[in-house]
Structure 1
Amino acid sequence: MVETPSYGGFRRAVRAAGGRCIDAPIDGEGIIPAAWDARVLFVTPTRQFPTGAVLSLERRQRLLEWADAKGAVIIEDDYDSEFRHRGKSLEPLRVLGGEERVVYVGSFTKSLLPPTRLGYAVLPPPLVEPFTRAQALFEPFPVNLLEQKALAAFMAGGAYERHLRRMKRSYGRKFHLLSELVKRELGSLVDWTESDAGLHLFGWWRGGEAEYRAFRSAGEAEGVRWSETEAELGGQRRFGLYLNFPHLTEEQIREGVRRMVRGGERSGQRS
């Protein structure tokens, strides 16, 4: 089971292993639990990718109940929730009683330089040995050993926590600025998802396909681009766009929104 829409790497991993992907629909609260006939679920409960929806406690418990009933494994991807800008996050599935059924995965790609490519998995005890043997088969020698040791020293000395606090302050200012600007300037074109964390903002295009494609082309002509997704929701083809902001200065964020507004005007949309 894979959320729809979701991170494309999930589907590529399943297909590479000879599995079959089944779409699991989402709504404004994230994945919609059901009695799926499946053995594995990929899910992003802390911040659904790409929409940013936070899965409720009741739905998290239903996912764990499904996994227990089916003898299934849940892959819980927590990709950027360390960057919380307001409020308090819910506990991960693994902490809510999923120790035997949940594989919790995360990455330092967002908090360190992207080329570092360091990640981790917290495994249920029965899966530790199979994962270790599989890792030894595919990667006989430790990967990024120098980077791993450097990160361990960075964390042990407290420098990583200080680094993370500085990043949270910087990214928090950008998050609030971008959120305010897009809701004010582009709210008539895009239904922006409420979010408390993360490094991108997501919204569903309010109009149809032709209008969206005209808006995107006009934006490119203005020199601004964004990531996007398509999904079948409620029997309707929806277009979503998400804006990444960590790499931009606050002035670049303002300029980017101005260009999107001009793109809307150029394409005949009113923002």
Structure 2
Amino acid sequence: MGNLRSKEYFQQRAAEDMERHLHSKQRTLKETLAQACRVIALHEGEAGLAGQISARSERGKGYYWTLKFGLGFDEATPEDFIEVDQDLNCISGEGMANPATRFHLWVYEARPDVNSIVHTHSPSVSALAAAKTPLVVCQMDMTPFYDNCAFLPEWPGLPIADHEGVIISEALGPKKAIILVNHGQLTVGVSVEEATYLSVYLERAACLQIKASGLGTLVPVPGELAKDARNYLLKERVVNATFNYWGRIADRTIGKIQ
């Protein structure tokens, strides 16, 4: 077959092919948020009204869009999203925000790179949180969290006040995910698609870790290989293509957004 070509050659070729063939689906922000809710419901299961999703508003600092309180992720439609200010007053749409989304304000304040936040009490991540166990990146699909998943070892309480927002945002630091002891998970992204992608994969990673720990000692992915895989799996076109695929599954399983 001739001389072996470098990994860099194939990485560059893959990037060029993805740019040519993988295209994002055009949606409004509220349509994307609604689809994200359905994707999360499909993959993570429900936990009552504990789940939250938000996205920065174009209005500026202190404003974001979120699902109005009282609805589950599986029934979200674009019309169910409201825009709120830093005091959680509804300024667009009708309804109230989940009071526990207050800590989102602190994350947005600390992280100008973040445009969307997902918080859930997904079953496997909640099991790790209950056992006070950090994530161990020991399989390829877990590598988006290599050096990218923080751990808050003490629960600060129900996050409906400012104090909890300060603690959670400081613990998250520059990373894109965090496991909250006695609580659940939080993921952030440059887009709704990325925050959702990470949320689904964090639940999958936790499930895998729990299953694998019963078989023997967990073997972490070597650092450089984990970093390489992380960077590939977090490419925008990979993230968006995966989100679109999950959206098609949700359309077939839950039904298309009305």
TM range (shorter): under 0.3
Per chain length, whose mean CA-contact separation is higher, i.e. which structure has more relative contact order (CA < 8 Å, sep 6+)? 2
Using the size of structure 2 for normalisation, the TM-score is 0.27
Tell me which protein shows more strand as a share of its residues.
1
Using the size of structure 1 for normalisation, the TM-score is 0.26
